[in-house]
């Protein structure tokens, strides 16, 4: 049962447009509607129709001829959507903005059906980077489900998908040069069954290219992540020689932080990752490649002869600077491929000797401090702080013991809505923030439907925070019925609990927090 849905366009859209002027009358989109498309935007128009017909097939009979124009017009900031009973027009200067306008039209159609209220909308985004992350290493997520999430995200004007492809519990990126990793690092024992069996999976190159192509049609850029130097147990299982002790190593069946990490003193590790990132760059054409860098214990380096030799050879102070050395090497590999390296905010630490290459984009996750520090150092950065309502493996309501999600944190719909990537402490460096991102880790996410319910409606709230210049929580709550109608129209599962006006917060997720360091 949906809450009341406004009869006016101004009362249903999310993200909230910059300007919506309601008009009298309605426009019916049917098989009788004539479409006139500037050839520059033919692909955007075709994608719009394909997406719409998946969830709202044409009516057999139209309501008389009317027209939809998709035009190029100069001097428009963002897009302009104008709807009268006889004519609808989406106008913009570029394909990205045109598609955003068409997605707003799709939002109206999924809300009301084939007949939508007339209006004039002028709209453009507040931030450049509006993203969400999905961890497929802890639990494998099918290509079909990922495309479904991308489609739902596109309707929210989200434009980056951070694909967390490797971690301790699984390696999902296929390597043409290393079938051993493909076979041994992609599966693990299934802990929930008495009989012996495995779980996991690895994508094929064709599947990755399929998602890249689909995301491109939606004007969504994929940011692939390959973890270094920590969270590497799955890789170490196939290549124990890449670890400091030589193993043996097993692919874990539980979450946590493991002290066995990549050996920074082993030149073969860097040779391996040169090949890995070369193949990543071949498949993913976007500007960013994420190199990980989070939650890497340094204890194994203390007794590793190769790591100790690396310290001496490079004049490093101690084992803590070994990770900084590794970060610099991986950043060089990515930069030489013509891409921009991204790292979790730990890459800012222990950089007195090596420094952090200026091109590295910092992703601040342990709070806002990483972004504030990155700004002071002149680095561009992306905000995704775990304690500010954008970690979607947390519960919606921390006080509810029966709710799905991690027990140590809460990310309410209100907290997602209140999130702002630019902080006052950034001062004049606030322009270095690219935007923000919501993250879904999957230690407790067994199925794609679980992922949907944890992402939505929080991702809708975050999308409005990153897109809209002016926000109003009570207005957002009033649009709940329309938001849920659109999610249902796309067969997207969503959480149906109370949208609270307060939040209990969350514990930080660092090495010193409630997560377990496993020796």
Q: Give the phi and the psi of residue 360 in degrees, each rounded to 5.
A: -70, 130
Q: Is residue 395 a contact partner of residue 403, using CB atoms and an 8 Å limit?
A: yes
Q: CA 72 to CA 39: how far, in whole Å?
A: 10
Q: Which residue has the tokens 């984009």?
A: 361
pLDDT above 70 as % of the chain:
94
Cα R_g (the chain), whole angstroms: 24
- Helix then strand count (H, E) for the chain reads 15, 22
Residue 101 pLDDT > 50, yes or no?
yes
**Which has the closest alpha carbon to 441: 1, 88, 133?**
133
Q: Are the C-beta atoms of 95 and 43 separated by less than 8 Å?
A: yes
**Listed residue (397, 367, 402, 398) closest to 381, CA to CA:** 367
Q: State whether residue 162 is helix, strand or coil.
A: strand
Answer with the residue of higher pLDDT: 185 or 59: 185
Question: How would residue 77 be classed by pLDDT, with cut points 50, 70 and 90?
Answer: very high
The helix (run of H) or strand (run of E) holding residue 51 is: helix 42-55
Which pLDDT score is estimated for 402?
78
Phi, psi at residue 38, to the nearest 5°? -60, 130
pLDDT of residue 167: 98
Summarised one tens digit per residue, pLDDT across range 416-471 is 999 999 999 999 999 999 999 999 999 989 888 999 999 999 999 999 999 999 99
Query: Nearest Cα to 343, choosing from 357, 354, 319, 431?
Result: 357
Neighbours of 7 (CB within 10 A): 11
How far apart are alpha carbons 358 and 335 in whole angstroms?
A: 11
Reported as a single tens digit per residue, the pLDDT across 151-184 is 999 999 999 999 999 999 999 999 999 999 999 9
- Beta carbons of 221 and 296 less than 8 angstroms apart: no
User: Rounded to an integer, what distance in angstroms lies between the CA atom of residue 345 and that of residue 411?
Assistant: 20
């Amino acid at each position: 049962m949906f809450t009341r849905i406004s009869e006016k366009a101004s009362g249903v859209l999310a993200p909230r447009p910059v300007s919506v002027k309601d008009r009298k009358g309605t426009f019916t989109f049917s098989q009788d509607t004539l479409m006139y498309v500037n050839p520059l935007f033919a692909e955007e128009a075709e994608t719009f129709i394909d997406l719409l017909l998946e969830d709202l097939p044409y009516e057999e009979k139209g309501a008389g001829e009317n027209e939809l124009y998709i035009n190029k017009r100069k001097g428009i900031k963002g897009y302009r959507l104008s709807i009268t009973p006889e004519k609808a027009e989406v106008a913009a200067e570029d394909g990205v903005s045109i598609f955003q306008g068409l997605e707003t039209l799709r939002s109206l159609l999924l809300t009301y059906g084939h007949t939508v209220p007339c209006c004039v909308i002028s709209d453009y985004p507040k931030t450049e980077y509006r993203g969400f992350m999905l961890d497929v290493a802890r639990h494998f997520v099918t290509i079909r489900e990922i495309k479904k999430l991308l489609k739902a995200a596109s309707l929210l004007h989200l434009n980056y998908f951070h694909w967390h492809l490797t971690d301790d519990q699984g390696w999902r990126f296929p390597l043409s040069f290393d079938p051993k990793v493909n076979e041994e690092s992609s599966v693990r024992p299934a802990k929930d069954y008495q009989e012996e069996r495995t779980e996991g999976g690895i994508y094929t190159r064709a599947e990755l290219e399929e998602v890249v192509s689909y995301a491109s049609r939606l004007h969504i850029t994929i940011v692939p992540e390959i973890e270094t130097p920590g969270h590497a147990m799955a890789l170490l299982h196939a290549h124990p020689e890449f670890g400091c002790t030589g193993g043996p190593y097993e692919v874990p069946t539980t979450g946590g932080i493991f002290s066995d990490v990549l050996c920074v003193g082993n030149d073969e590790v860097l040779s391996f990752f040169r090949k890995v990132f070369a193949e990543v760059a071949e498949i993913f054409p976007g500007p960013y490649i994420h190199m990980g860098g989070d939650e890497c214990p340094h204890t194994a380096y203390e007794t590793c002869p190769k790591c100790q030799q690396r310290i001496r050879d490079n004049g490093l102070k101690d084992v803590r600077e070994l990770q900084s050395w590794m970060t610099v090497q991986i950043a060089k590999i990515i930069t030489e491929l013509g891409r921009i390296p991204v790292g979790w905010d730990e890459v800012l630490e222990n950089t007195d000797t090596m420094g952090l290459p200026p091109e590295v984009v910092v992703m601040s996750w342990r709070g806002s401090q990483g972004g504030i520090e990155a700004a002071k150092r002149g680095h561009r950065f992306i905000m995704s702080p775990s304690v500010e309502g954008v970690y979607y493996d947390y519960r919606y309501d921390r006080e509810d013991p029966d709710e799905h999600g991690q027990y140590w944190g809460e990310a309410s719909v209100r907290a997602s809505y209140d999130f702002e990537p630019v902080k006052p402490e950034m001062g004049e460096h606030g322009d270095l923030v690219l935007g923000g991102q919501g993250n879904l880790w999957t230690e407790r996410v067994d199925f794609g439907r679980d992922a949907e319910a944890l992402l939505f409606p929080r991702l809708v709230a975050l999308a409005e925070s990153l897109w809209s210049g002016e926000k109003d929580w009570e207005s957002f709550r009033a649009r709940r019925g329309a938001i849920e109608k659109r999610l249902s129209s796309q067969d997207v599962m969503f959480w149906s609990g109370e949208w609270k006006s307060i939040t209990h917060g969350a514990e930080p997720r660092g090495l010193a927090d409630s997560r377990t360091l496993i020796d």
